[in-house]
Structure 1
Amino acid sequence: MNMRVDHRQALQTALSPQMLQSVELLHMTALDLHAFVAAEVEQNPFLESDGPAPTPTAPAAGPPPPGRGAGAGGASDFDRAALVADHLSLHESLEQQFGLLTRDPVLRHIGMHLIRALTPDGYLDDPLDLIALQAGTNPLRASEVLKMVQSLQPSGIGARNLAECLALQLRENNRLDPAMQALLDNLPLMARGDLAALRRLCGVGEDDLREMFAEIRRLDPRPGRAFDSAPLQLVVPDVFVTRAADGGWGIRVNEAALPRVLVNMSYYHELRRDLKSAENRSYLSNRMRAANWLVQGLDQRMRTVLNVATEIVRQQADFFDGGIERLRPLRLRDIADTLGIHESTVSRVTSNKSMATPCGTLPMKFFFPTAIGSAGEGGSHAADTVRHRIREIIKAEPARRPLSDGAIAARLEAMDIRIARRTVTKYREAMNIASSVERARQAARRPAA
């Protein structure tokens, strides 16, 4: 019988309890942090809470649109709010999203009229002509702005009927092909279960038709209802970004929303003086060590969040000055390398955290958009910026000679944005903008000026 003994060496990194606690604190939201600290204070005799947890307050009325000088007049609104509601009403959420979509005051005015006309289910029941009259515009312009509203979340919002609601959701998922459109055009036949007629109209077999049925049933016919049924969630802005007196940006941690604890050293010495047992003395020492770790961990968390937020604002300064079209691609690694910390630390800091800015209360992850390649040496571009450019190109195109997706891709390349035609198509459809063929048909149906 042969016996073999292998010796292997391996390096392992063991995190100390203090390091583990620091990692956990960094990943917590402010509300989770309050709950954690309250539990620690309850079980540790040497910890004392220094003040009550913050009381939820109503969010400021809609944030100003992103753009130059947006922070000059709105900073005090954010200073007054230690907490803002993450679960807004349907209309509040859409208005905030629309404010990020465009800075044009006319488009914002029309968009607000359309949003406020939506039913709780998210449908636009009022005639578009009537809304256009109320907004002081023409139906054609109102129809164009409605497409912008329909590009917002939740998907399917702003539809005028069930078929359009389902089409919007399918288009966002790149699932609205001619067969599916034919099915949507004949929903009464689906309700009656007339498979033979639908197979003929859609040009598909029975198995394909049943898969299409299943896909339709997975969609949400009442997208606005999610705002009424979801429980209230509160998000605490971890950082405030406000316009500074010198025209730059001031960044500060929302200290009012952070738990504050004190270590009662006198009580510790008083108890320790009267104890004789080594076991009891060891217990007190461990409790005191845990109390000090917590205080140090909270301080380190605050400094790390502030450092990361400051670097985000520095690298995205163009966004704060110029709006969504100037948002640049940014990676977690970019922040980590600049600050000399690990990328996972930046990931923990930016998860479940938000920044109250003059452009609205935004999740930190918002500032890390997907990158689109550059055609030259100008670096990459944020996907949100590219979508904005596509919208602007289509807005400026000749009404009766709309640009194809290939032509739009060529225009973008001239702007130093390298993007494939199919990507233009994907972005255009996600924004609920019709194809060039359909835009040409729409232009042909309009009365001559």
Structure 2
Amino acid sequence: MSSQPSQHNLSSEKKDRFSSSGFIFAAIGSAVGLGNMWKFPYITGQYGGAAFFVLFIVCLIAIGLPVLLAELTIGRGGRGNASSSFVKVGGHKIWGGLGMLSVIAAFLIISFYSIVAGWTLNYAVSAFSGKLFDNPDFTAQFNEFMSGNKPIMWQFVVLLLTGLVVIKGVSAGIEKFNKVLIPGLLILLVVLMVRALTLPGAGAGVSFFLNPDWSKLGAESLLVALGHAFFSLSLGMGAMLTYGSYVEKRQSLGAATLAIGGGDLLYAFIAGLIIFPTTFSFGINPAEGPGLVFIALPAAFSAMPFGTLFGGLFFILLAIAALTSTVSLLEVPVAYTMERWRWTRAKSVWIILSLSFLLGIPSALSLGVASNITLGGKGFFDWMDFIASNLLLPLGGLIVTVFAGYFWKGVAEEAGLTAWWFRIWLFMLRFVAPILVLFVFLHTSGVIKF
């Protein structure tokens, strides 16, 4: 296949757009991810339950929504990739270079995020088949799984599924995929929430989650809430900016921003009403992180009626959340390479997936057979996560806020806000969000410690 697509193919790609509802579904799919299922409930319980939830909402408004709207606005205004859109809306070429940080971040993240996504698919298959519950030693099961080559095999499956969606394009691939899976995700969330809330002792978990303890709020909880508000909306990785480039002009970006933030918040809330009642009902420590999901919760499912069914549904839920995120991550470098080197969509998808798979192999091995190989106390997976999540994403978000707040002259027209809302948004972009994003960067990079 020639690396130079025909003019017809190029024009078709340029016309490929989201419908209004398709864009909302895709953006919510990007925001909803694996971390929300076990990280958000845990940090909420750790930092004061409902008190932290209120703080999280405030941070979402102060940092998440302004940066999200800025990314969408730059993307639609530039109609390019996460790098070129900055230049196309009137910025200097240096902004395009800085925008490349988001493209790199998305590429790095999909290389290791797809590994954990593969775990969820493996556990979903094992749960539905009943194999997961044959051996009650779930720690030994997890360790056995991690010590072999199965994580690499399942990572390949995740990347293949992701590629099959993205290769079909924006409207025929990404939009249709999310229009099916996001409603399915909501149905699964509600089914599992009802099951969790009807477990014996579930009330104690709900109380732990929703009763506010204002005494646990402080500087550390504020930084944690800021960081989660930023990361839970997929900011700084170019996904929302890239999706914004496919949005029709008639779409209200302000309304879309609120819908995406609300969807992310609803998912996190229902996740808490699944995790806490279940953990309290079976005497599980909700602070176990990945161990909670792949070791402790399978033990809980094995002890409840119809546990095979609900366990399978739970891991399908996680797999859907993971796949809707990997799709948005892959689209970032695919959009870049298609525009930068005029590759066809198919060529971009398969080359980037191949490179992601190869980069992911040492990450997968560092959690298993090569777990004893570390540098500075971190394995390869941890270093990839640290570089992308803790350094590149906050920097990407900071670039977006500074560019939209100070350097882009046409931001008001593209945002489409009323004069009053635009003044508020611009104030947040110039004087609030950059400072908060900087604090997030200093905290995640380890400069600020508690």
- Report the TM-score when normalising by structure 1: 0.25
Highest RCO, 1 vs 2 (Cα 8 Å, sep ≥ 6): 2
Give the greater-gyration-radius structure (CA).
Answer: 1
| Larger strand proportion of the pair | 1
- Report the TM-score when normalising by structure 2: 0.25
| Larger helix proportion of the pair | 2
